[in-house]
Amino acid sequence: MPTRKFQGLAALLQIDAERDALEVRARAARTAAASELGDAVLDAVGPAFAPSQIAELLRAAQRLGFTEAMALMGAALPAHKDNNSRDGTAGNRRSISAEKHAATGADHAAP
């Protein structure tokens, strides 16, 4: 009598193995990214702020969005203004809409 092959089960086991391998790679990439970001923070502020203060500043900047945070700190903005999440400006759609609202005098800001 021929043996039955469990192709679905084999595929599921393969996917689980791939998922585990991806999780290992993701942890390694996250560790490398944390190290790079930590180096950038240390280069930027050195011992001027405690780690908890740096974390609080970053959370506040994330809530405000890059453009608003920079404006509040009186810092010059970069010359390019891409609207993608990698450069930190994606969270600023809210402030851009508010600026349009103020400029046009419209009753409602664009979503």
pTM: 0.51
**Would you place residue 2 in the very low, low, confident or very high pLDDT band (cuts 50, 70, 90)?**
low
The string of pLDDT tens digits covering residues 68-100 is 999 998 887 777 555 444 444 444 444 444 444
What DSSP string runs through 6-56? -HHHHHHHHHHHHHHHHHHHHHHHHHHHHHHHHHHHHHHHGGGS-HHHHHH
What is the per-residue DSSP string for 65-91? -HHHHHHHHTPPPPS----SGGGT-GG
Q: If you average pLDDT over residues 1-16, what whole number do you get?
A: 86
Q: For residue 86, what pLDDT is reported?
A: 43
Would you place residue 32 in the very low, low, confident or very high pLDDT band (cuts 50, 70, 90)? very high
Which phi and psi (to 5°) does residue 79 adopt? -65, -35
Q: Which residues contact 87 (CB under 8 A, 6 or more apart)?
A: 66, 78, 80
Total Cβ atoms within 10 A of residue 89 = 20
Give the tens place of pLDDT for each residue, 33-72. Answer: 999 999 999 898 888 999 899 999 999 999 999 999 999 9
- Give residue 102's pLDDT: 47
pLDDT score of 1: 55
